[in-house]
Structure 1
Amino acid sequence: MTPLPAGQVVAGSPATGLVELTDTIGVWDHTPGTSTDVEADEVFVVLSGSATVSFEEPALPAIELRPGSIVRLTAGMRTVWTVRETLRKVYIAG
């Protein structure tokens, strides 16, 4: 796991980890804490953990994430990830 850059951290000391399975498929982890991100095009399925992802741009309703959640993000979305229990997702990027 790698600590996130200070400019992305909103609360806590979150860290992330990534295992790329192919050029477009991977597994991503985020430890408890709150961070911001600018998204790429992807679809993901939550494997474990608990979190909320909220959207700064575009303004969309927040999504509660738990095992089995399926989400599509589009490039350029500005998000805030509030992770309560280490989140693990498998993603397909486009």
Structure 2
Amino acid sequence: MFRVLDVDAAVPTAPLDPATVLAGAPAAGSRALAAVSGVEVGVWEMSPGTATDVEVDEVFVVLSGSGTVTFEDGERVDLAPGTVVRLRSGEHTTWVVHETLRKIYVA
């Protein structure tokens, strides 16, 4: 049986830890949609602002919004609907969100 995952479902967000915020007052949150063979599929959202993060193993596809993610080695990826990105556990990143960013992730 096929089931449709509701990628438009509301995502509960909360202000980010002030120690990670570099600009603005971004809030973020996620909502798990399914678990497949021990892998989580969900939706994540972040409002405008700039924040740092330490990543988990993940692949994601941007559903809406815009921004950039910069990796500690200097690589920068522009984020827009349809962009696919691979994150690796332990990577340090900086997220700059211009328009509320919404992604579906597999982690």
TM-score by length of 2: 0.82
Q: Do residues 81 (structure 1) and 95 (structure 2) align?
A: yes
Q: Which has the higher contact order (CA 8 A, sep 6+)?
A: 1
CA distance in 2: counterparts of 1:20 and 1:60, whole angstroms: 30
CA distance in 2: counterparts of 1:67 and 1:11, whole angstroms: 23
Indicate the structure with greater strand content: 1
Q: Flag structure 1 segments of 5+ consecutive residues without an equivalent.
A: none
Which letter maps to 2:95?
W
Q: Do residues 67 (structure 1) and 75 (structure 2) align?
A: no
CA distance in 1: counterparts of 2:26 and 2:96, whole angstroms: 10
What is the aligned partner in structure 2 of residue 92 from structure 1? 106
**Which of 1 and 2 has greater Rg?**
2
Aligned residues: 91
Runs of 4+ in 1 over 2 A off after TM superposition: none
The aligned runs of 1:33-72 (5 Å cut-off) are 33-56=49-72, 59-72=73-86
Which letter maps to 2:77?
I
Q: Flag structure 2 segments of 5+ consecutive residues without an equivalent.
A: 1-12
Match of 1:11 among 23, 47, 51: 23
RMSD of aligned Cα (Å): 0.8
Q: Percent identity?
A: 55
